[in-house]
Amino acid sequence: MRNQAAMSAQRPHRTTESIRCVVLESGSLLLTDTDAENFDHTIVIAQMQDEPPAAFAERTLERVAGLERSGRRFEAATILTGNHHDGPAQAARRRIVLSLAAHLLPTPGAKLTLRAARDTAPDDRAELLDLAADVMGYRGSDDDGSIEPVGVRLCFDEGGAEPRRRSGTFHAIPDNPVSASDATTGPASEHAH
């Protein structure tokens, strides 16, 4: 009886909640609530300002491993790529993307999305296309082809390359924005004359 209790304590508990993972590289587009209503939870992993790409990749992989140890899996992952495409950034991005693909592999219908700015340079677009092709061909350790590859999308957003400000800081646009001309013609400006 004691062994059975110990074994069940070590075995992760499976859950039926739908989870998505969003990975934000430094300098990425702003996080939006796109597709958020399709999931019970969204886990956001953001690269901190001045965090080296390799350290960010390691932290991301540790977070995914912790999720797996708890018996939880996400059904979708989105990587908002930053504006750095040098060797260290590309290596970290590749490590993160292939790790996410491996995590998603056992989940039927899982989707991985790479999002980049519309004005991403042609060479950087080619790097992202190659990475997407590698994910589509990835089948993990299953050599007989019985596991379906992870679906992957590559999106070049129309929003341009507006850099992300701070992790966890989201700015709202007021319903009735006040323009600078409105601010100077209101009652306060009448008293100033």
pLDDT in tens, 62-104: 999 998 899 888 889 999 999 899 999 999 999 999 999 999 9
Contact predicate 97/79, CB 8 Å: yes
Domain 14-192 classification at class level: alpha beta
- Mean pLDDT is lowest, of 26-30, 40-44, 144-148, for 144-148
Structural element, H or E, at residue 112: strand 111-117
pLDDT at 9: 40
CA distance readout (Å), 177 to 32, 122, 181, 183 = 20, 37, 11, 11
Q: Say yes or no to pLDDT of 106 above 70.
A: yes
24 contacts 31 by C-beta, under 8 angstroms: yes
Question: Which segment of 33-37, 155-159, 173-177 scores lowest on mean pLDDT?
Answer: 173-177
d(CA 153, CA 44): 19
pLDDT of residue 140: 57
